[in-house]
Chain A
Amino acid sequence: MIASLIAWFSDPDHWSGPGGVPARALEHLGYSALALVIAVLIAVPVGVWIGHTGRGRRVVVGLSSALRALPTLGLLTFLAIVLQIGLRQAVIPTTIVLVVLAVPPLLAGTYAGLQAVPREVVHAARANGHSTGQLIGQVELPLALPMVVGGLRSATLQVLATTSVAAYLGLGGLGRYLFDALAVQDYTTMLAGALLIAVLALAVDGLLLLLQRLLTPTGLRAARARV
């Protein structure tokens, strides 16, 4: 198995053309990035609102978690059929299921980050004359940022691992190796595809970890160092 896996990775045919690893990895990253951007646009504002006001947490988080509990593949098939867009726009149902997957961890990271900001800090900012916008933009969000990025890391890992389902509807991505190889019992290619997805997910996670470190405010870092 190991030997055939090495042979698979060293076959130049697997590294070029529209079915090659670079092309498939780019497609994979593309679908994932699209879903993550949309998820951030939805989850971060909602998370900020919940974290700032302390309201709606139960409803919004409960709802997003309930959606998250839907099996991705079932939801994908359901959407592909009810959205009436057929397979020409297969990227739409695919993106929706990935967004559904990415929103809960992002939402949790954002509101938890905001709620973790010490009340004294918030009150002090208010006393200094910060408006609500300034309070959120200059105090709460910067302090919450490491946790927001933590949510993003968790969402990214899940989305990158799940983008494989794009191949179910005939799209590309690294999932093609899994689906096409499973269809012909080619386990070497399946294993190669699974490894590629794992490596991609870990590499992106590493980058985000770096970003998380960079975005941690100096004050917080100093505070942590002291603890």
Chain B
Amino acid sequence: MATHPFRPGPLSARLPEAVTPRRRAVLGMLAAAPLLAACGGDPLSSASSTPAADGASPGGAGGVVRVGSANFPESEILGELYAQALEAEGLQVERKMQIGAREVYIAALQDGSVDVVPEYSGNLLGYFDKEATASSSEEVAAALEGALPEGLTALTPAEAENKDSYNVTAGFSKEHGITSLADLAGYAGTLRIGGLPELAGRDYGAGLSGLTEIYGVPQEKMAFTPISDGGGPLTVRALTDGDVDVANIFSTTPAIQENGFVVLEDPKGMITAQNVVPLVSSEKVTDRLRAALDAVQKKLTTDDLLAMNAATMGAEKKQARQVAADWLRQKGLV
């Protein structure tokens, strides 16, 4: 199982998935830097600590906990959830949000410049074990324990996940009676599929090779268009415009609901589970840290992720910090 853009390349990273077309358009037009800073919340803020409310010494519990995130909106929201939960627990937190690719923040975890980063179980496993075959949430969680190198600890996975999903338009689904990946083999013509380039990779189990091996869609009946925006607006647009019949879009992308896409079911479990899991530098794991993060993990659902993504990317354009604070309050965690 290779990865998806949560190991973002510089491109999918800069224009993260699940940004609505309008927002992306504005981003493109105003050319990144100043605007990113304005609407990404506070992506470059590195230091922001709240001294312990209960008067615990700042140096206690292993000193400052540095919470990082990858550079796409959902990861920053998750990073904020962790940061604020730790602050509520009385720990001193330093934020290092919007770190680039997985290679970069894993290295940062290992050299001690970051202590906590939100991760996705399947991709994290694939990063350390290229031959991993685990697919369900339980299998991935179990395999992950053995795959992580010394010094890194994955805490409790949440029910919430954000994984590959194959989408068709409601019209296409109705016309051809396709609601599941298992129906694709029966499609008469050539299926035009759009998504990240890794889907065409031989090792990517949830990609074209998986469709052939698991669902029996003949290779010659699939025409693949690689689109490198991480299931973002270009991929969504390709599907709505009919340039492709099937588009691979990450499952917590608000555009799926907004456009009424039909997410194809995966009865044979081809798509690797991607549960949200905090990846922590082992020496920073304390009972207090574990308790604070576990409290978040236990309550976080996929629907919550969708709702929070919609709040940051939809009309409201809320900041990640605000969205995270709202959720924590709503769940009674702060």
Contact = CB atoms under 8 A, between A and B. Distances in A.
A170 B226 contact: yes
B221 interface: no
Contacts of A73: 11, 14-15
B315 to A, nearest CB: 18
Contacts of A134: none
Interface residues of A, number: 27
Interface stretch (A30-38, A135-143, A177-185): A177-185
A77 B31 contact: no
B301 interface: no
A73 B243 CA distance: 21
A79 to B, nearest CB: 8
B237 interface: yes
Contacts of A116: none
Given A80-B234, A87-B243, A168-B228, A183 B25 contact: no
Contacts of B238: 86-87
Interface stretch (B45-53, B110-118, B155-163, B194-202): B194-202
Contacts of A82: 25
Nearest to A76: B28
Contacts of B250: none
Nearest to A186: B201
Interface in B1-54: 2-3, 7, 9-11, 14-15, 21, 24-25, 27-29, 31-32
A167 B14 CA distance: 16
Contacts of B31: 69-71, 74-75
Contacts, number: 102
Contacts of B196: 183
A82 B22 CA distance: 9
B41 to A, nearest CB: 19
A169 B194 CA distance: 10
A179 B9 contact: yes
B228 A81 contact: no
A51 to B, nearest CB: 30
A185 B198 CA distance: 10
A5 B197 CA distance: 22
A81 B197 contact: no
A79 B201 CA distance: 28
Interface residues of B, number: 38
Nearest to A88: B243
B229 interface: yes
Given A73-B14, A80-B234, A180 B197 contact: yes
A78 interface: yes
A88 B238 CA distance: 9
Contact of A168 (B11, B29, B194, B244): B11
A87 B194 contact: yes
A176 B201 CA distance: 13
A81 to B, nearest CB: 5
B287 to A, nearest CB: 36
A87 to B, nearest CB: 5
Contact of A183 (B201, B233, B244): B201
Interface in A173-208: 176, 179-180, 182-185
B228 A179 contact: yes
Interface in A69-123: 69-71, 73-82, 86-88
A77 B196 CA distance: 15
Nearest to A74: B28
B204 interface: yes
Contacts of B14: 73-74
B32 A71 contact: yes
Interface in B98-121: 103
A179 B11 contact: yes
B15 A87 contact: no
B2 A184 contact: yes
Interface in B164-207: 194, 196-198, 200-201, 203-204
18 contacts: A69-B31, A73-B15, A74-B27, A77-B233, A78-B29, A80-B237, A81-B25, A81-B28, A86-B243, A87-B237, A87-B243, A167-B197, A168-B11, A170-B225, A170-B226, A176-B197, A180-B198, A180-B226
Can you list the 7 inter-chain pairs with the closest CB atoms, starting with the nearest? A78-B28, A183-B198, A86-B241, A182-B9, A170-B225, A74-B28, A183-B197
Interface of A: 69-71, 73-82, 86-88, 167-170, 176, 179-180, 182-185
Given A77-B24, A87-B243, A170-B227, 20 more contacts: A71-B31, A73-B14, A74-B27, A75-B28, A82-B25, A87-B194, A87-B227, A88-B241, A88-B243, A169-B228, A170-B225, A179-B9, A180-B200, A183-B2, A183-B3, A183-B9, A183-B201, A183-B228, A184-B204, A185-B7
